[in-house]
Amino acid sequence: MTTEQYNTCVEWYSDGVYRFILKNIKDENKAKDIVQDSFEKLWIQASKILFEKSKSYLFSTAYHTMIDLIRKEKKISEVENKPELSYTNAYTGINEILNEALQKLPDIQRSVILLRDYEGYTYNEIAEITDLSESQVKVYIYRGRMALKKYIGSIEAII
Amino acid sequence: MLNINKLNYEIYFIDYIDGTLDSEQEKELFLFLEKHPELQSEFDSLKNIPLETKKIIFCDKENLLKNNLANNNSESNFSDLCIARIEGDMPEKEIEEFDKLVNESGKNKNEYQLFLKTINKANTNISFPDKNKLLKSGKVEHSKIRYLYRYSSIAASIILLVSFWFLLPENTDNNFAETKMQNTGSIQVKENKTIQKDTKNKKKSITKKNNYKNINNINTNNKKVLHKEKLKIIKPNIRIQINEPIIIAKAKKIKIENTYNSDIAELRDVNLNSSFKNDATTKKQSDFKNHSIIGYLSKTAAKKIRNKTNVNKIKSLQLWDIADTGIKVINSITGSNIKFEQKQDKKGKTKAIHLETKYFALNTPIKN
**Do B137 and A35 count as a contact with CB atoms less than 8 A apart?**
no
- Residue B68, classed as helix, strand or coil, is coil
B117 in A contact zone (CB under 8 Å): yes
How far is residue B258's CA from residue B304's CA, in Å, rounded to a whole number?
A: 9
Give the residue extent of every domain in chain B: 9-47, 61-116, 173-316
Whether the predicted pLDDT of B130 surpasses 80: yes
SS3 content of chain B, % helix, strand, coil (to 5): 50, 15, 40
Reduced to 3 states, what is the DSSP secondary structure of residue B356?
Answer: strand
Query: How many CB pairs below 8 A link A and B?
Result: 92
In this prediction, residue A59 carries a pLDDT of 92
Amino acid at B11: I
pLDDT digits (tens, 9 = 90+) for A115-156: 998 888 999 999 999 999 998 999 999 999 889 888 888 776
Q: What is the mean pLDDT of residues A17-28?
A: 88
Chain B hits for A2, CB-CB cut-off 8 Å, are 140
Mean pLDDT over each residue of chain B, to the nearest integer: 65
- B140 contacts A46? CB cut-off 8 A: yes
Contact of A96 with chain B, judged by CB distance below 8 Å, is answered with: no
A48-57, A84-93, B158-167: least confident range: A84-93
Residues 6 or more apart in contact with residue B213 via CB below 8 angstroms: B188, B189, B191, B224, B225, B226, B227
Q: Give dist(CA B258, CA B193) in Å, integer.
A: 10
Q: Which residues contact B214 (CB under 8 A, 6 or more apart)?
A: B188, B226, B227
- Tell me which of B75, B115, B134 to substitute to probe the interface with A (most A C-beta atoms closer than 10 Å): B134
What is the ipTM score, two decimals? 0.73
- Check whether B238 has a pLDDT greater than 70: no
Residue A71 clears pLDDT 60, i.e. is over it: yes
Which region among B86-95, B130-139, B241-250 has the lowest average model confidence (pLDDT)?
B241-250
Q: Residue B145: closest CA among chain A residues belongs to which residue? A: A44
- Is the pLDDT at B172 greater than 90? The verdict is no
The answer to whether A32 contacts chain B (CB < 8 Å) is: yes
Is A44 in the B-facing interface, judged by CB distances under 8 Å? Answer: yes
Q: Where are the domains of chain A?
A: 1-76, 77-159
What is the mean predicted confidence (pLDDT) over A20-35?
88
pLDDT confidence tier of residue A60, bands split at 50, 70 and 90: very high
Question: What is the topology classification, in CATH, of domain A77-159?
Answer: Arc Repressor Mutant, subunit A (1.10.10)
pLDDT at residue B139 tops 70: yes
Contact A152 B118 (CB under 8 A): yes
Q: pLDDT for B339-361, tens place per residue?
A: 778 777 777 777 777 777 777 77
What is the average pLDDT across B80-108? 84
Over residues B257-276, mean pLDDT: 43
- Percent of all residues in chain B with a pLDDT value above 90, rounded to a whole number: 0
A25 touching B, CB under 8 A?
A: no
CATH fold label, A1-76: Rna Polymerase Sigma Factor; Chain: A (1.10.1740)
**pLDDT of B270 above 70:** no
pLDDT digits (tens, 9 = 90+) for B281-334: 444 555 544 555 556 666 665 565 555 445 444 444 566 777 777 788 788 777
| pLDDT surpassing 60 at residue B106 | yes
pLDDT at B99 over 60: yes
Interface probe for B, chosen from A4, A8, A10, A137 (most Cβ of B below 10 Å), is A10
Contact A19 B122 (CB under 8 A): yes
CA atoms within 13 A on the CB side of B177: 10
Asked if A49 has any chain B CB less than 8 Å from its own CB, the reply is no
Band (pLDDT 50/70/90 cuts) for residue A58 is very high
A87–chain B Cβ distance below 8 A for any pair = no
What sign results for the dihedral spanned by CA atoms B334, B335, B339, B340? positive
Q: Is the pLDDT of residue B61 over 90?
A: no
B259: three-class secondary structure by DSSP: coil
pLDDT of B166 reads 64
Task: Tell me the pLDDT band of B268, cut-offs 50, 70 and 90.
Answer: very low
Q: How far is B126 from chain A (nearest CA, A)?
A: 7
Contact A148 B130 (CB under 8 A): no
User: Which strands, in side-by-side order, build the sheet including B361-365?
Assistant: B339-344, B350-356, B361-365
Interchain contact, A47 vs B142, CB within 8 Å: yes
Domain A77-159 in the same topology as domain A1-76: no
Q: Which residues of B touch A152 (CB under 8 A)?
A: 114, 117-118
Confidence of residue B259 (pLDDT cuts 50, 70, 90): very low
Residue A19 reports pLDDT greater than 60: yes
- CB-based contact, B118 to chain A, within 8 Å: yes
Contact A3 B115 (CB under 8 A): no
Measure the CA–CA gap between B163 and B326, rounded to whole angstroms: 6
Residue B223 to residue A151: CA distance in whole angstroms: 100
